[in-house]
Structure 1
Amino acid sequence: MIRVLLADDETLLRTALVSLLGLSGRIEVVAQAADGLEAVALAGIRTPDVVVLDLEMPGIDGIEAARRVIAARPGQAVVLLTRHGRAGVLRQALAAGVRGFLLKSVDPAELERVIIHVHGGRRWIDAEVSAAAMTDDCPLTDRELDALRLTTEGLTVREISARLHLATGTVRNYLSSAMQKTGGSSRHVAARKAKERGWI
């Protein structure tokens, strides 16, 4: 039996998936979480074989939860579920160490196959998301994207500097460059444009 932790803030969807996965005969859901922080805590306590995370959750999102889970347990298999298969999100997920990336519209039988697949040490990326990533025309560097992503969280330049472990002047340079590339009149406008284009 593959031991799974499932995290999703939508109670109806989460409990439905737990029930459906339980019918497979190969998967046992050993823990459920309603947000990212709870998922990280439960992953440490229940030591699941595979962690399935919703991308958009309160507290911390699925990507940050994945980073923390994998940092605590290197090699942990993580599958990320999202409503929007944006190329920028895929890049972040892969950088965090996520092995599976699926749209939330996935059939439960497909999710079961992916869980078995990543448990075997392999990677699985939704074909639609993969195609979008290959045609991605994002001109921003990873650091520029990081700075804009933290801008959307409402952080100040000083706070962004602390989070990224960079000098304040360096962060300002990244944000200035991102503003030029996106045509944004401020870092907030640049961040909004990057989000609308699916880059962050």
Structure 2
Amino acid sequence: MAGISLAVKLTVLPAGITSLVDRVGVIIWVISLTIVAAKIASGIIKSYSDTLKTTTPITSLTTNVVNIIVFIIGFLILMNLLGISITPIITALGIGGLAVALALQDTLSNLFAGIHTIMSKQVKVGDYVQMDSGQEGYVIDIGWRTTRIKTLPNNTVIIPNVKLSQAIVTNYYVPSKELAVLVQVGVHYNSDLEKVEKIT
């Protein structure tokens, strides 16, 4: 791309074409750098989580939020480099955002429910949970709209984040993975009760 830009500058071309090529070059560079930055940011967060073995594993929701933030920053930088004022854009986004929020009320509810689930650490990827509706299994992902649970028969249950946040959930991995199971044992009437007490 740098070679094309240099060739255009060394070639006698109308000012309009030169300006257009420069703008296209800026757009390509910013988009490329933004994509690379998004991948690097996601990689750093995943590496940081794996290295420290944090209690909040990386989910698709976390990765998507990071990518959206990076792309928004890249878009604003691009507008600034092209000489386009971002103030009207931000104002339009604020007004349009209200309309979008009303139209996507259910989706946004699931999004914020998913964020709350991740931040509260009450349910994490890898936990074995059971809902009051009967579904149980391992949490394999918390997305921007749904949470996926893998059941023991190797099926996947997809639950809206709002439903998960409102449900009564038993997390068998909290506070620890150790599980106590109460087992009733029958004792014969002629058994030595003192010996039974010592054994139990």
Flag whether TM exceeds 0.5 (same fold). Answer: no
TM-score range, shorter chain: under 0.3
Larger Rg: 2
